[in-house]
A and B are shown apart, each in its own frame.
Chain A
Amino acid sequence: MGLTNSSIGIKAVDSGLIIQKQTPSDKVIALAGNPNVGKSTVFNALTGMNQHTGNWPGKTVSNAQGYCRTKKQSYVMVDIPGTYSLMAHSAEEEVARNFICFGAPDAVVVVCDATCLERNLNLVLQTLEISSKVVVCVNLMDEAARKNIRIDLPLLAKRLGVPVVGAVARKKNTLSGLLNSLDGTVGAGSQAVPLSVHYPEIIEAVISELQPVVRRKSGEQLNSRWLCLKLLDPDESLIQEINAYLGEEFLQDVELNQAISRAKETLAQQGVDSDRFKDLIVSALVKTAESVCEGAITYEHHGYDASDRRLDRILTSKLTGYPVMLALLALVFWLTITGANYPSQLISAGLFRVQDRLTDLFRFFHAPDWLHGMLVLGVYRVVAWVVSVMLPPMAIFFPLFTLLEDAGYLPRVAYNLDKPFKRCCACGKQALCM
């Protein structure tokens, strides 16, 4: 077997990324997860890389890859964009879905946030519809413990039908459980039977009609149940991917198209149009996630408790909301401006002393006046001024702002200011840029 594209690499759809295996026996693992669950931390801890990804939209639409190995197996880890679902509503979701479906990874790791696991299960359930080779990695177990959230991982694993492992990605040694499960999942003879989301009867009925045809036409490459659901409500990019993956003749097949239009007719007769279809699917996912978590996750005191309520009443009420906000922001500005004076003076004193020494040096070499003027009085002096004036306020303001952000105050500012901003055709979130 030569080193053809198919033996050493698979082309990751859309991003143009070629998966580079170090040896042909490397297994390709897709690392999926919601945004902000520490997915990149898991990726970096596993691969020893230092991958930075931003949270703003459009940043991570491409896939990064790295390598890691266990005693049994070596892996290529592919970090795919963080998404809440695989419905392809955005560029990120499209890339994520396309890689999981058509990039043919050997397994998928879905990283979840232990503090809001139920919400994260939406993505897990959608991934399970596509692939049975899935390991769920529940990250931030320490945060959950701090918030008194108890998670019964074995029970979740039993209900989901795939391994569920806890982790604290910041501590590398907690990831050994994940690697052990991966070894098991990609190993020969592993036949996980993942939980399958049960949709309302009408949808289940058309799926069972359509599935045999789809399975016969598409072969074993894609999960036929999932493909049925998608064919009933396809999007542009999916059609392209299917054409590229299964060949154009698949979607042009007469028998298949007849079966699809029959199914759509049945749905329409029951009043299920495209919007209603999407609603039913999303509802079924949300409700399945709810029932999977029931009894497996317990909160000592519920997510939003009495002290949060009291604090929010002060921070956002009609009477105190604006005064508290103004006072807090004034305090931040006062600290920034007053506090910055002292380091500013120190830095400028230091830098200008250096300027004097530089002048001495130029004199010592009998440098012409214009050269001294340009380099020392021009370039150096300007840079010194800018640094001593700008650096201290920034070094004070940004950490303070980060504190406000971590405390969760910024969304409240956005909430308080949404109405005046809406008048200007903007939204409250934009208050933070000002």
Chain B
Amino acid sequence: MNQQICLNDIRPGQHATVRALRSTGSMRRRLLDIGLVEDTDVECLGRSPGGDPTAFLIRGAVIAIRSEDCKNILIRAL
């Protein structure tokens, strides 16, 4: 049921864990480098005034990710 939800589907304040990455190439490497591997806990902190990008707390660092990249980060909502 939870199969296709991605980082765009959590609202500020909610937590989720990473299930898989669909992105490829350098973006995939970048996401892995910031520690977005399977089972990593991610907290949504808030959206930028323009509505995009969204800020997430990932392994102790605040990182902003655009929605076009979020849709390739599949998660399990908690």
Which residues of A are interface residues toward B (Cβ below 8 A)? 84-85, 87, 89, 116, 118-119, 275, 278-279, 282-283, 286-287, 302-304, 309, 312-313, 316-318, 321-322, 415-420, 422, 428
Across the interface, A415 reaches (CB within 8 A) one of B38, B40, B60, B64, namely B64
B66→A316 contact, CB < 8 A: no
A283→B38 contact, CB < 8 A: yes
A417: B residues at CB distance < 8 A: 50
Alpha-carbon separation in the docked complex, A267 to B14 (Å): 37
B37→A316 contact, CB < 8 A: no
Across the interface, A116 reaches (CB within 8 A) one of B26, B32, B57, B61, namely B61
Chain B: residues with Cβ within 8 Å of the partner, total of 28
- With A119-B59, A279-B21 in contact, is A418–B48 under 8 Å at CB? yes
Interface residue B10 (Cβ < 8 Å from any Cβ of A): no
Q: Which of B21, B52, B62, B66 has the most CB of A within 10 A?
A: B62
B49: A residues at CB distance < 8 A: 316-318, 321-322, 416
Alpha-carbon separation in the docked complex, A304 to B47 (Å): 17
Q: List 12 A-B contacts (CB under 8 A).
A: A118-B59, A119-B35, A312-B45, A312-B46, A312-B55, A316-B49, A317-B49, A321-B48, A415-B48, A415-B55, A418-B64, A428-B53
A279: B residues at CB distance < 8 A: 21, 32, 37
Nearest B residue to A87, CB-CB: B29
A118: B residues at CB distance < 8 A: 59-60
A303→B32 contact, CB < 8 A: no
Nearest A residue to B38, CB-CB: A283
Q: How many residue-residue contacts, CB under 8 A, span A and B?
A: 78
Alpha-carbon separation in the docked complex, A418 to B69 (Å): 14
Alpha-carbon separation in the docked complex, A418 to B66 (Å): 9
Give the shortest distance, in Å, between B12 (CB) and chain A (any CB): 9
Nearest A residue to B64, CB-CB: A415
A422→B33 contact, CB < 8 A: no
B35→A316 contact, CB < 8 A: no
A287: B residues at CB distance < 8 A: 37
Nearest B residue to A308, CB-CB: B62
Known: A304-B62, A318-B51. 20 other contacts (CB 8 A): A118-B59, A118-B60, A119-B59, A278-B29, A279-B37, A282-B33, A282-B37, A286-B32, A304-B57, A312-B46, A312-B55, A312-B62, A316-B49, A316-B55, A415-B53, A416-B49, A418-B50, A419-B50, A419-B51, A422-B52
Interface residue B3 (Cβ < 8 Å from any Cβ of A): no
Interface residue B28 (Cβ < 8 Å from any Cβ of A): yes
A419→B61 contact, CB < 8 A: no
A84: B residues at CB distance < 8 A: 33
Interface residue B24 (Cβ < 8 Å from any Cβ of A): yes
B46→A419 contact, CB < 8 A: no
Nearest B residue to A419, CB-CB: B50
Nearest B residue to A420, CB-CB: B50
Give the shortest distance, in Å, between A414 (CB) and chain B (any CB): 8
Which residues of B are interface residues toward A (Cβ below 8 A)? 21, 24, 26, 28-29, 32-33, 35, 37-38, 40, 45-53, 55, 57, 59-62, 64, 66
Nearest A residue to B67, CB-CB: A419
Alpha-carbon separation in the docked complex, A314 to B26 (Å): 33
Q: Which of B49, B53, B55, B60 has the most CB of A within 10 A?
A: B49
Give the shortest distance, in Å, between A315 (CB) and chain B (any CB): 10
A317→B46 contact, CB < 8 A: yes
B24→A416 contact, CB < 8 A: no
Alpha-carbon separation in the docked complex, A302 to B57 (Å): 11
Give the shortest distance, in Å, between B60 (CB) and chain A (any CB): 4
- With A316-B49, A416-B50, A418-B52 in contact, is A286–B60 under 8 Å at CB? no
- With A316-B46, A318-B49 in contact, is A304–B60 under 8 Å at CB? yes
Give the shortest distance, in Å, between B66 (CB) and chain A (any CB): 7
B21: A residues at CB distance < 8 A: 279
Alpha-carbon separation in the docked complex, A419 to B24 (Å): 23
B47: A residues at CB distance < 8 A: 318
A321: B residues at CB distance < 8 A: 48-49
A318: B residues at CB distance < 8 A: 47, 49, 51
Alpha-carbon separation in the docked complex, A416 to B52 (Å): 9
A303: B residues at CB distance < 8 A: 60-61
Alpha-carbon separation in the docked complex, A119 to B59 (Å): 9
Alpha-carbon separation in the docked complex, A316 to B35 (Å): 24
B46: A residues at CB distance < 8 A: 312-313, 316-317
B48: A residues at CB distance < 8 A: 316, 321, 415-416, 418-419
Give the shortest distance, in Å, between A365 (CB) and chain B (any CB): 66
